Each structure stands twice: as C-alpha cells, then as structure tokens.
Structure 1
Amino acid sequence: MSEATESAAGYRDAELLPGTRRALTHRVATEQSQGRAPSVVGALVRDGRMVWSGSASMVEGHEPDADTQYRIGSITKSFVAVLVMRLAEEGLVGLTDPVGAHLTDLRVPEVTVGQLLAHTSGLASETPSPWWERTPGTVRPELADVLGADPVRHPAGRRFHYSNPGYALLGALVEAKRGLPWHEALREEVLEPLGMRRTTREPQAPAAGGFAVHPWADVMVPEAVQQTGRMAPAGELWSTAADLSRWAAFLAGGQDGVLPATAVERMRESAAPIDPTAPDNGYGLGLQLLRSGGRSLAGHTGSMPGFLAAIWVSVADGLGAVAFANSTSGSAIGGFAADLLAIAADAEPRFPTPWRPADRLDPALLELAGPWYWGTSAFALRVSADGELSLARIGQAGRQGTRFHVEQDGTWTGHDGYYGGETLRVVRREDGSVSHLDLGSFMFTREPYDETAPIPGGFQGWNQGLSAGE
C-alpha cells in the first residue's frame, strides 16, 4: 500500500485530530456563551458515522450528551418527506398528483404532492389563529381547521413560500395511504431500520427542558410543550445528536430498504425557485439547501418554543453536522451547525479517491473520447473507468460540464449541469463509423462544422467563405 493510500485510509478510519476536536469544542462553548442558551449540543459525522460530539451548559458538570433528546422542530419535515418519497417509489402516489386525488374535502385539491414537498404550493405559512405552536392540537382537529377558509397566498408553482400547513397535508396523505398514524409509519418504515430508537413524537428521558431567555436581561423562564395534533408533521419530533447523526448519514447516501440513494439525491436537488433576497438558500423535496463557505449543504433547521435544531450534510466533503439549543431564540442554529462542518472540512479535507485505470473499456466508448465541436465551440468528452461519460467546454468560461450515465437502450442521460436530464445519442453512418453526437438536438462533430456531417441549415465549407477583407 502506498503512502498516499495509507493516508487516505487513515483519514477514513481514524478519529478527528486533537486540534480539530478542540476547535469544535471551542465553537460549542462560544455558541452557548454568546447565544445565551441554557445548553447546546453539537455532533459531527464523517463518512457515515458520528466521530465527535460535544456540549456546553450553564451548569458545570451537568452538560447534556449525544443521547439527550431535544425537540427538533421543522427537521421533522425531512422525515415526513422521506415517507412521501417512499410512497412515490412504490407507485402509490405521484409527485405531480393533485393532493385532492388522495385526500378528500380539501379547499386546495389541485395543489400537487411535489409542490407541498417543495413549499411551492402557494399555501399560507401558518394556520389561522391562534398560534399553532403554542396551542394544543384539539384547537384544530380537522385538516379544514388547519387550512382555514382562505389558505391560498400565491399561485401554485410560481414561488417558494414556506408552508407549515402544507406538511400537515403530507402527514395526512401518509396516514391515508398507510392506514396508520404518520408517526407509527415513520417508526416502522424509517426509524427502526436506521436504528434511530431515540427519535420519538413525545419526549423520553433523558430530555432537555425548553426555555425562553429574555432578550435584554439574563433571566429565563420555562416554555410549555404542546402536542400539536394535525400540525405535528410540521415540527413535533424529538431526537438526539446520536440519532440525527444517523439521519445525516442517511441524507448523504440513502439506505436500501428505506429509500435508495437515487431518491435521496433527488430530494437534495433544488425544486423551488430561488428567492432573490436570499440567493444562498434553496429548497429541494423536504430539504433545505444552503450555499455556505463555498460548500453545498442540504438538511434542515428547526424551532419550536424552547428549542432550536439544525442538521447539514456536505456530500462532497463526506461530512454532516448536528446542532441543538434549548432556547426559543438567541442562537443562529443553522450557522452554528454549518460552522461545525466547516471546521472539520477545512482542518481535515477529504482525500480524493485514488485514480485507477479501467480494467477494460468498451472500444465503442473509447472511440468517443476526445474533442468534439458544437459549431465552433470546443468540448472534451471523457470516459471514466466505470463507463460513465462527461462533457465539458475546453479552455473558456461558459456552461459547466455534464456527467452522463448509460441507459439500457445504449443512450446516455445527463446527470447534472446544463444538460441534466437530456439524452445523448451517438449517430453512425451506414458503414458504422461515428457521424456525430446528438445532444438534445444539438450536434457535436469531430471538426468545427464538419463537412461530412448533416449540419442543419447547410454549410458551404470553410474554403467557400469570404476571404479576409471581402
């Protein structure tokens, strides 16, 4: 084994370096002190497992640990979204289905399942009064009570508008399809398979108490805990740093039997228009998206009276971070969790996967490698060891490259970038030689405006053009 390979293997297997651990512990202490929270907890996940956790408390010697429950608020939505995605994977619902096709007596039957997941349904942010987070669920026993008489604020599909009642509808959708309460479906289908036995609808000891800290004085009072009934899918769950570390690993890679990696990847993709006032923030299918410190993060933040929580994953870095505080406000919890992830990523950057040649490449694929021209613009097509293709512009700024994966019919589908979702086909001449590549009707040829290719609109040939000065 080479020295470089040993180093990479050591990174994956070893605990964090002492300097990294101290920096993380210092960040936790700073958050508790400056955020004026009774307690805070942080945890870091690397390559699928929790490698560090730390906490700070107002009472020395009574710090919580990774098994202490906190209420996680809207992180609950990511769990509900996975349940809905499971229904979609099974063909029981479609993301483009109107929710009214599955739930009756709604005032918004035309809103789609996907729009509810991505907060593009146009529904109101909150329920009618009184404030749902601070009143028992018996106040609004039916979905009609959650929506109110006039629940629409924007045309469906036009803009991102965060909607807590929208997730009440999704929880009801899960119950309608599974025939049992959403949280029981969650326990059976998701939590137990992932080993998340400390994630529950109601608190189970040891659990932190929630507090409101006065914004201008160093005093605090306990917050009441409400069971929110129909609104529970929007923010009811309690969890621990250890359990949410397992959730971070799942959000980064999926798990067979729960939700495959391809479906989780789809959840992490942007599904809502970007708010121009917050261009670094986005939303996928049940997951918040954040651009922070040059990194693309996916996860969710959450708050309920007395509690703040956040979880982020960076797939590129192989890292995830979890953060809790038991105060109603004061801590910028999303930034706190992002800082924990950045500390580890900057101090101990991930080793790249070693390059290895292919054991064997299909000669037909190897024939495609090299330069191609879209009109007069030069592109390079590369073939990886696993038979995947990538196409990127050569030597000038412009559209980013696109990766392609092979389909059963011999075509390739764009995985990302400008050509994401588009089909790449190889067009051959009668003698079997390659004429050109067809990519969403764009023609790529081996030479700029190759005279042997059927260029749309006609091409007279480079020697037929006007000479200089004419």
Structure 2
Amino acid sequence: MTPDPPGLCRAWLDSGGERYESRGVRSAEDPMPVDEDTLFRVASVSKLITGAAITALGVDVDSAVRDHLPDFRLADADAAGRITVRDLLTHRAGFAPDVNKDRLADELDAGALARAVADLAVAPQISPPGRYYGYSNAGFMVLARIVEVVAGEPFEHAARRLVLEPAGMRRSTYFTDEAVTHPVALGHGGEPPRVLRPWGRSRARNGQGGLMTTARDLIAFARYTLADPGPAWEPLADGFDQGSHVGVAWNVFDLPGGGRAAGHAGHTKGYTARLTLLPDSGRAFVILANSENAGPFLDRETAAALGLPAEPEHEFLAAPDVRDHLGVYTDGSDQIRVDGVPDGVVLSEQGLGRVRFIAPDEGRADHGLLVRFLREDGRVSHLRLAGKLLRKVS
C-alpha cells in the first residue's frame, strides 16, 4: 500500500468553473498546510511548457535540429544530421535519453543548457531517428536550447514571456531564489516520509523538468490551452501504447466511446504530478504531491476524477517462448538483464521484477508496468518499459 503523501493538492476545471481541494503539509519538518497557491516541483509536466514555447516561436516541427543548432553533435554524426524537431517532441530522436541526468545541482549559470547540449556529442544511438518511441529527457534539453537560440534569450525568460505570462501562471518559476518568496512544498521520500536534500538541480534540466508551479497556475495553463490549443494535440507520431499518440509534448489517448484524454505525468526526487485534460468536453484535472512514491495513487485519483477507464484485466500466457527475449539491454546509461522463468521473464532492475506475457512480445511487470519487446528482421532488438527504450546488446 502506497503511503499517503505529506501534502496533496487537487484541482478541477469544468463548465462550472474551477475548484480546489488540499490536505496535508508542505514539509514533515515544518508542518504548514498546502493549498492551491503552494509551489510544487512538477518534473516532466514542465515539458508541456517547452512544447508550447516551440509552438509560440513558430518553429517548424519538420525542420532539422541543425537548422537551429548548427553545431549539434551526437556520437552518430549521420543521426545528428537527420533528427528533426518532431523527433524530439515525440521522443523518437533515438539517442541515449539520460546521459545528462547526473549534472551538478549547483550548475546555475546561464551557460548550463548550452554546455549540456554540447555534452551530447558522446551520446550513442539506441535506435534510428524516427523509428521507435523512447522517452527522452535529453531530447527536451535540446528543445529548450532551440527555444533559447530562436528567441534570443535564456530559456527561462523565453518560457515566461511566451507561455507563463500569457497563460496567467503568475507564481510559476524555474528559479529557486524566486520560489522561496512563496509557500513551497518540500519533496519527500521513504517511510515515514522525510525531506529529501539537496533541493536544487542543474539549470540545464529546466526545459525537461525544472518548473515549480501551483495547482492554480496549472489550471490557468489548462484553461489557456483549451481555449486555443493550436497544434497541441495533433498527432505528430504514435505513442508508446495502443490508441495513443504524441502531440506537441502532450500524450494523447483515445477513449472508449469517443473523445480524448491529453496530459503529462511528472516524477522527480521528492515529487509527483499529473495534469490531464479532456479536450472534447473542456475539462481538466490537476493533482500534485510532495512525495516521490505517490504515482499510482495520483493515477487512480486522476481516473476517478475524470471518469477514465480502468486498466482491463488480462489473461496471461501459461508458458511463453522467451528464448529470444533473454539477454542484456541498455539505454546508454543503464543496463537491464532479462532472465527466463517458467511463466515469463524477470528483469534485473530493482522494483520491476517478474514479467508475465499477454502476447508473444508484450507483458506486464509488477505494478502493471507495460513491457514490450520490439523486433527487427524477426529478432528481438529492443525492450520498452512503459516509455523507456533499451537496445539489446547481448
């Protein structure tokens, strides 16, 4: 059972207006209450702001990255020349997605983003550009750098001018020295929950997941986007699951009986977040928690708030043939070993455990995580864990 987060804020938007519901505290050490104006880190929900900035600047999604960043380099020079803005927005650029994940938390100068993108020169390809969905934080670093170059100002200033201010997101910020002038929920982990330190993070990561915002501001962003979505939800590429596609950073899912759900999840050290819209009925739901363990709870709350369908029950194959699935897979930073057991496979990464198959190349790991094995020329070549893509190396 997932423990309750120390602090939680829910927000709804529908034809009746907006409403908020909060409970808990900003910090287990200093128990002041959270409310709709408390700042939370929202992790990858930040990608929606980066995508909106790309749209606001009129960047052609089919332009090559090198049209905007002529010095863009990867370990595979040919791939670097072929990757487009569309590939970045839809997580199909194919290069190692997290080579920059350990950048120093005190890297706060204005040159941090440019250095991080330059450091991708050593990033290997996990798949050819445009071929497979593989969730990429590094790809959104590159998009943030494109915003910076096209706008002619630091990414954070451009995002504020192009998106945050027009949307009425008055408290939202990427900077901790601005955040501390407002009520802030501190991130927690463990059981019982404890405050996680350090709190800072590299400025280079702001475009992929550095926004600090409130439930009220995210409802303002939802209202702003629903009023004039532009290309936000247009299908730029297929998503990682059946009946899904990726728009301008939005994950869009077809709903049974018609309609769509569009949104993004966020998960980072100490925090989880969800922003979900129903574009065809003008509804939205936001839920923010200052706990890194609250993801499944937030998913259930979102489904209940918006009437989203539950995960269907599956029949598992009794004795799947997994010989071609076994081996070692990498995403350029991490490795996962796949070993066989009588009713499926076991993944070496902590917390994933056993995978039971519902089809020859598709299964569910612990906690319902979607697992797919992808094939090239009839042989298993890649493993996808939800959105994470890994290449088979042995």
Output the TM-score relative to the length of structure 2.
0.67
Say if 1:115 and 1:133 are closer, same or farther in 2 by CA, change over 3 A: farther
SS in 2 for 1:109: helix
Unaligned runs of 5+ in 1: 1-32, 255-260, 346-470
Aligned counterpart for 1:131 among listed residues 87, 102, 105: 102
- Aligned amino acid, residue 281 of structure 2: D
Q: Does the CA-based 8 Å contact 2:117-2:145 persist in structure 1?
A: no
Structure 2 match to 1:199: 172
> How much has 1:267 moved relative to structure 2?
1.9
Post-superposition Cα deviations, 1:183-217, rounded to whole Å, max 9, x if no partner, equal 11121222222221111112242110111123xxx
Q: Distance in 1 between matches of 2:16 and 2:232?
A: 18
Q: Distance in 2 between matches of 1:74 and 1:94?
A: 23
Structure 2 match to 1:358: none
Structure 2 match to 1:69: 39
Q: Does the CA-based 8 Å contact 2:99-2:123 persist in structure 1?
A: no
Q: Distance in 1 between matches of 2:103 and 2:70?
A: 23
**1:180 and 2:153 equivalent?**
yes
Q: Distance in 1 between matches of 2:83 and 2:186?
A: 38
**1:104 and 2:76 equivalent?**
no
Say if 1:133 and 1:49 are closer, same or farther in 2 by CA, change over 3 A: farther
Q: How does 1:197-276 map to 2 (within 5 A)?
A: 197-202=170-175, 203-204=179-180, 205-214=182-191, 218-254=192-228, 261=229, 263=230, 266-275=231-240
SS in 2 for 1:270: coil
**1:300 and 2:264 equivalent?**
yes
Larger-Rg structure: 1
> How much has 1:83 moved relative to structure 2?
0.9
Q: Distance in 2 between matches of 1:119 and 1:154?
A: 11
Q: Distance in 1 between matches of 2:131 and 2:227?
A: 30
Structure 2 match to 1:42: 10
> How much has 1:145 moved relative to structure 2?
4.9
> How much has 1:41 moved relative to structure 2?
0.6
Structure 1 match to 2:305: 340
Unaligned runs of 5+ in 2: 74-79, 310-394
Q: Does the CA-based 8 Å contact 2:95-2:123 persist in structure 1?
A: no
Question: Which structure has more RCO (C-alpha within 8 Å, separation ≥ 6)?
Answer: 2
Q: Does the CA-based 8 Å contact 1:70-1:240 persist in structure 2?
A: yes
Q: Does the CA-based 8 Å contact 1:37-1:331 persist in structure 2?
A: no
> How much has 1:292 moved relative to structure 2?
5.8
**1:284 and 2:257 equivalent?**
no
Q: Does the CA-based 8 Å contact 1:48-1:246 persist in structure 2?
A: no
> How much has 1:304 moved relative to structure 2?
1.8
- Aligned amino acid, residue 264 of structure 2: H
Say if 1:74 and 1:134 are closer, same or farther in 2 by CA, change over 3 A: same
> How much has 1:274 moved relative to structure 2?
3.7
> How much has 1:61 moved relative to structure 2?
8.7
Q: Distance in 1 between matches of 2:99 and 2:151?
A: 25
Q: How does 1:317-396 map to 2 (within 5 A)?
A: 317-332=281-296, 333-342=298-307
- Aligned amino acid, residue 163 of structure 1: S
Aligned counterpart for 2:24 among listed residues 54, 57, 69: 57
SS in 1 for 2:96: coil
SS in 1 for 2:262: strand
Say if 1:328 and 1:317 are closer, same or farther in 2 by CA, change over 3 A: same
Q: Distance in 2 between matches of 1:274 and 1:331?
A: 20
Q: Distance in 2 between matches of 1:113 and 1:49?
A: 36
Structure 2 match to 1:454: none
Percent identity, please: 26
- Aligned amino acid, residue 131 of structure 1: D
Q: How does 1:105-120 map to 2 (within 5 A)?
A: 105-107=71-73, 108-120=80-92
Q: Does the CA-based 8 Å contact 1:133-1:305 persist in structure 2?
A: no
Q: Does the CA-based 8 Å contact 1:80-1:171 persist in structure 2?
A: yes
Output the TM-score relative to the length of structure 1.
0.57
- Aligned amino acid, residue 217 of structure 2: D
Q: Distance in 2 between matches of 1:146 and 1:335?
A: 39
RMSD: 2.8
Q: Distance in 2 between matches of 1:177 and 1:268?
A: 23
Say if 1:301 and 1:172 are closer, same or farther in 2 by CA, change over 3 A: same
- Aligned amino acid, residue 206 of structure 2: A
Aligned counterpart for 2:136 among listed residues 143, 147, 163: 163
Structure 2 match to 1:80: 50
SS in 1 for 2:82: coil
> How much has 1:131 moved relative to structure 2?
2.8
Tell me which protein shows more strand as a share of its residues.
2
> How much has 1:56 moved relative to structure 2?
1.8
Post-superposition Cα deviations, 1:73-110, rounded to whole Å, max 9, x if no partner, equal 1111111111111222xxxx321111101112211232
Post-superposition Cα deviations, 1:14-57, rounded to whole Å, max 9, x if no partner, equal xxxxxxxxxxxxxxxxxxx954211111000114942x110121
Q: Distance in 2 between matches of 1:292 and 1:223?
A: 40
- Aligned amino acid, residue 39 of structure 2: Q
- Aligned amino acid, residue 276 of structure 2: W
Q: Distance in 1 between matches of 2:31 and 2:123?
A: 51
> How much has 1:319 moved relative to structure 2?
0.7
